[in-house]
Structures are given as C-alpha cells and as structure tokens.
Amino acid sequence: MRDLSAEVALSPAFHDCDPMQVVWHGHYFKYLEIARCALLQRFGYDYPQMQASGYLWPVVDARIKYIRPLRYAQPLKVVARVAEWENRLRIEYEVTDADTGQVLTRAHTIQVAVDAASGEMLYLCPPVLWEKLGVERP
C-alpha cells in the first residue's frame, strides 16, 4: 500500500506555553495544521490546489487525546497520515518526543468536500483527491 503520511519536526516556542512552560492545549491544533499542510503538499493538493480544483475542504470534526504534556523547546515529531479518503478525508496524527519516541498526543481531523461553486457538501470525495493520493477509486 502507498505511504500516505508526512512527518514534520518542530519545537514549541515560548509564546505557545503557559507559565509552567507547558504548551497551552489550544496550540496543539496549530501543530496538527502544520503537519496536515505538509501532508497535503506532499501530494500536490494543499489548500490552494483544493480551491483551484473547485472544492473547499472544511474541517468538520477534530479530536485530540493529550497523553503527556508538550514542553517549551522540546524536540517533537508530528506525523500526519491519511486514514480515509472515500466519503471524507480523515487524517490521523501522532506527536512524539523526537529524542525518545515517546507518544505524547494522538488526534484526528475530518474534512469533507464542498463544491466551491454551489456550496453543497459532497457525500463522496471527488476523483481529484483519489488521483492526487494515487489510490484506487472506490
């Protein structure tokens, strides 16, 4: 099966942390977005290409499991992987400590295709997604 993942390295900035030098929970989504964009760029279907293809892809669901805190300047690895692409785009994430490999956070987001012209949500992903990912049509 084709590798449908991308990995980014990052380190939390001081301004992302609370007074205890722990990353504020809302900033985790920013790190997921960085990984999601890297993943979509890998397949040549980042947000500008999505819009140019006639589709918008809003996030309609986001879930996160905080396992261990992220800390100021901690070297992190964030992996984003396409898990579903038939009726919706589900991306799963894993944040690990880059030095130890310890899992710190798991999450997923769900995006749906919306026809940019009509504003109608599609109940089947458009073929352009499958072509970009290099997967078979359902």
- pLDDT tens by residue, the chain, 138 residues: 689 999 999 999 999 999 998 999 999 999 999 999 999 999 999 999 999 999 999 999 999 999 999 999 999 999 999 999 999 999 999 999 999 999 999 999 999 999 999 999 999 999 999 999 999 887
Q: Closest Cα to residue 126, out of 56, 44, 46?
A: 56
Residue 53 counted as domain residue: yes
Looking at residue 1, its pLDDT comes to: 67
Q: Which domain holds residue 83?
A: 5-133
Looking at residue 24, its pLDDT comes to: 96
Looking at residue 67, its pLDDT comes to: 98
pTM recorded for the entire structure: 0.94
CATH number of the structural domain spanning residue 124:
3.10.129.10
Residue 57 counted as domain residue: yes
Residue 63 counted as domain residue: yes
Residue 62 counted as domain residue: yes
Backbone angles phi, psi at 33, to 5 degrees: -65, -40
Looking at residue 38, its pLDDT comes to: 98
12 exposure class (CB count in 10 Å sphere: 0-12, 13-18, 19+):
buried
Residue 34 counted as domain residue: yes
Residue 64 counted as domain residue: yes
Q: How many domains does the chain have?
A: 1
Residue 138 counted as domain residue: no
Residue 95 counted as domain residue: yes
